[in-house]
Amino acid sequence: MSRSPLIIDCHGHYTTAPPALEAWRNRQIAGIKDPAQAPKVSELNISDDELRVSIEKNQLRLMQERGSDITIFSPRASFMAHHIGDFQVSSTWAAICNELCHRVAALFPENFIGVAMLPQSPGVDPKTCIPELERCINDYGMVGINLNPDPSGGHWTAPPLTDRHWYPIYEKMVEYDIPAMVHVSTSCNPAFHTTGAHYLNADTTAFMQFIQGDLFRDFPTLRFIIPHGGGCVPYHFGRFRGLAQEMKKPLLKDHVLNNVFFDTCVYHQPGIDLLTRVIPVENILFASEMIGAVRGIDPETGHYYDDTKRYIAATPNLTEAQRHLVFEGNARRVFPRLDAKLTALGL
Amino acid sequence: MSRSPLIIDCHGHYTTAPPALEAWRNRQIAGIKDPAQAPKVSELNISDDELRVSIEKNQLRLMQERGSDITIFSPRASFMAHHIGDFQVSSTWAAICNELCHRVAALFPENFIGVAMLPQSPGVDPKTCIPELERCINDYGMVGINLNPDPSGGHWTAPPLTDRHWYPIYEKMVEYDIPAMVHVSTSCNPAFHTTGAHYLNADTTAFMQFIQGDLFRDFPTLRFIIPHGGGCVPYHFGRFRGLAQEMKKPLLKDHVLNNVFFDTCVYHQPGIDLLTRVIPVENILFASEMIGAVRGIDPETGHYYDDTKRYIAATPNLTEAQRHLVFEGNARRVFPRLDAKLTALGL
């Protein structure tokens, strides 16, 4: 192909939603203890203009400044807070958040494509998430899901991701040919800072669960993206290779790397250099999680920490063809429904 | 100095203790439910010859093969299992394990120097650990302690390490001028594989707790070693710098790096290259945790994964003077009681 690669950011959240959303959520939470305060869904009114402004001033502006084209866009991860309330609370909240992401994608069809959050709730069977999942894929045209391995918010009361507990979700993922990003939400455990410990720990934990189990024997086409550069996995890849070896598992490339992918949300050059040195390029998807956990400018570089495109561009470890895979090709392979949409748009 | 640097491995556990130790522990655990089965301390008999063989055939043999001189040696981390039983159970168990490490150090005074495990127990005031700590420092001449930030074994029910809860330990550390390695034990939470997730998560969690708090304003001379190369900290150092910046904390070099050190238990060359590229050399202490989590030979190199000395020797990021710091100088600075012992030995 002679055109320049598309730059597809596979990890964006709607962190800049109009404040009415948070106000409604706060009333919903208050309503758990005092039903008189519980708001109706119809009391949340956000206009298309408000959505447009919230995106144009923020994500879309930065995408244009940094030169990325498309963001795979899901509800704000820290706001999922699956530990709050029961299934009904999570279900209503997920429906609202997913609809907003769908509206953003409809307003900016060439720049945003939706991924669904699920109405998970601690101790509740994951199959209760299926109706919302189906709605998001069938009615909204979303191309993937976010799956929270710890709906308890830092208490880790759910079974490992390789447990049959999760299989109803996996069966739907296979049926729809959609991947899941493994993404926790806010930590309500004071030991774990949400974005500085809980997120990264979850990434590492999920990868190790995949090593311990044999999930991909049951689901050979199942695909997961582990965000934040895979937690500590690339840094400790020797350890993980060695642990798999002690457990008599196949080599990681055969045991998990046909099914597990890493994003590039690693906020400094040495980290991206390590990631691209250690992990096969076919397993790396460009992402920034921009306007997320780390919004500042790095005094050591003068650039935004989360402008990860610069690090991919600067790393000596990738050829141009490999950069194309990281920026576009791998995302189209891992998200076939994204590929179909882009193809339909002539991209 | 013209002599070659000493090679000091700051992270070794007695993973090869004679099987009588584990048998006694199993009876102790059985005795929690059925006191008739509880063994007396006097029923554990391990001779000096047994200790000698368990070391000469294992750690000492590998130290000689790999060319390291001294191991800072503590009870087996996964066996601490502070979540089992109550304070009395932990107290008896810690006393036994510490005494064995002391005996090893007495048998091999030029090769092993002890570090104490503490008799921690979930929900129990850490000041109950002080008598064992004092005994290990005063009577056994140990040079540091291992501190478990999660005595619950993967449920993370203890307050963050910056909480006043832990201050009695810190006051003793300052009084004795000893560092603590932050080291969890076995995970009893099925979400967390012990050495593939829980250990690494704990390292990351502890570092983030130190960033969030202002512990080193209260204890300017307190020193912690975060093992396993600091969990995911070096890989995500940009993220941690950015998070500290959002919290209006000082630069990490001023906020935590006068007090927090990283070991080199990272089991492949790219990881050590990242560690030595990102973390100031003054903050890196050589370690292997040999005969630990990963005991195999890496098929990509033909050498043991945990032969970390090779990676330090091979990294292009260190000068010879810097390697000397990593192998010897930093350990002598962080463990002043080790330095005094070595000096007394003419080393």
Residue A80 region, left (φ>0) first, then alpha (ψ -120 to 50), else beta? Answer: alpha
Over the stretch A240-286, which tens digit does the pLDDT of each residue have? 999 999 999 999 999 999 999 999 999 999 999 999 999 999 999 99
Q: How many C-beta atoms lie closer than 10 Å to residue B42's C-beta? A: 6
pLDDT of residue B139: 98
pLDDT of residue A1: 44
What's the rounded Cα separation, in Å, for the pair B80 and B148?
Answer: 9
What's the rounded Cα separation, in Å, for the pair B164 and A242?
Answer: 38
Q: Do B242 and A267 touch (CB under 8 A)?
A: yes
Across the range A151-172, mean pLDDT stands at: 98
- How far is A119 from chain B, CA to nearest CA, in Å? 21
Residues 281-320 of B with CB under 8 A from A: 293-296, 298-300, 305-306
Across the range A298-302, mean pLDDT stands at: 98
Ranges of each domain in chain A: 8-344
Q: How many C-beta atoms lie closer than 10 Å to residue B125's C-beta? A: 11
- Give the torsion sign (CA, B315, B206, A186, A293): negative
Chain A CB contacts of B307 under 8 Å are none
A8-344, which class in CATH? alpha beta
Over the stretch B54-113, which tens digit does the pLDDT of each residue have? 999 999 999 999 999 999 999 999 999 999 999 999 999 999 999 999 999 999 999 999
Q: Which residues of B171-181 are buried (b: 16+ CB within 10 A; e: fewer)?
A: ebbeebebbbb
Chain A CB contacts of B270 under 8 Å are 234, 237, 274, 277-278
Low-confidence ranges of chain B (pLDDT < 70): 1-3
Tokens of A257: 């790397």
CA-wise closest residue to B287 among B238, B341, B234, B228? B228
What's the mean pLDDT when you consider all of chain A? 97
Three-class secondary structure of residue B1 per DSSP: coil
Backbone phi, then psi, for A298, in 5-degree steps?
-75, 115
Over the stretch A204-253, which tens digit does the pLDDT of each residue have? 999 999 999 999 999 999 999 999 999 999 999 999 999 999 999 999 99
Check if A232 contacts B (Cβ < 8 Å): yes
DSSP class of residue B128? Answer: G
Backbone phi, then psi, for A75, in 5-degree steps?
-60, 155
Chain A CB contacts of B269 under 8 Å are 238
Tokens of B172: 């003793």
Check if B194 contacts A (Cβ < 8 Å): no
Q: What percent of chain A has pLDDT over 70?
A: 99
- How far is B158 from chain A, CA to nearest CA, in Å? 7
If pLDDT is split at 50, 70 and 90, which confidence band does A301 have? Answer: very high
pLDDT of residue B29: 98
H or E element: which one contains A24? helix A19-33
What residue type is B136 in one-letter code? C
pLDDT of residue A264: 98
**In whole angstroms, how large is the CA radius of gyration of chain A?**
19
Catalytic residues of A: 289
Q: How many C-beta atoms lie closer than 10 Å to residue A88's C-beta? A: 11
Q: How many C-beta atoms lie closer than 10 Å to residue A85's C-beta? A: 18
Q: Chain A residue with minimal CA distance to B300? A: A238
Q: Chain A residue with minimal CA distance to B304? A: A242
Distances (CA, A) of B90 to A303, B79, B121, B122: 50, 11, 7, 10
Check if B222 contacts A (Cβ < 8 Å): no
Nearest to B204 among A201, A246, A300 (CB): A201
Check if B159 contacts A (Cβ < 8 Å): yes
Backbone phi, then psi, for A124, in 5-degree steps?
-100, 140
pLDDT of residue B222: 98
Q: What percent of chain A has pLDDT over 90?
A: 99
If pLDDT is split at 50, 70 and 90, which confidence band does A5 have? Answer: confident
Number of CB pairs < 8 Å for A and B? 207
Residues 57-76 of B with CB under 8 A from A: none
pLDDT of residue B1: 44
Q: Chain B residue with minimal CA distance to A149? A: B191
- How far is B173 from chain A, CA to nearest CA, in Å? 22
What's the rounded Cα separation, in Å, for the pair B22 and A95?
Answer: 53
Q: How many C-beta atoms lie closer than 10 Å to residue A191's C-beta? A: 25
Chain B CB contacts of A273 under 8 Å are 274
DSSP H stretches of helix in A57-198: 59-66, 77-80, 87-107, 130-134, 167-176
Check if A278 contacts B (Cβ < 8 Å): yes
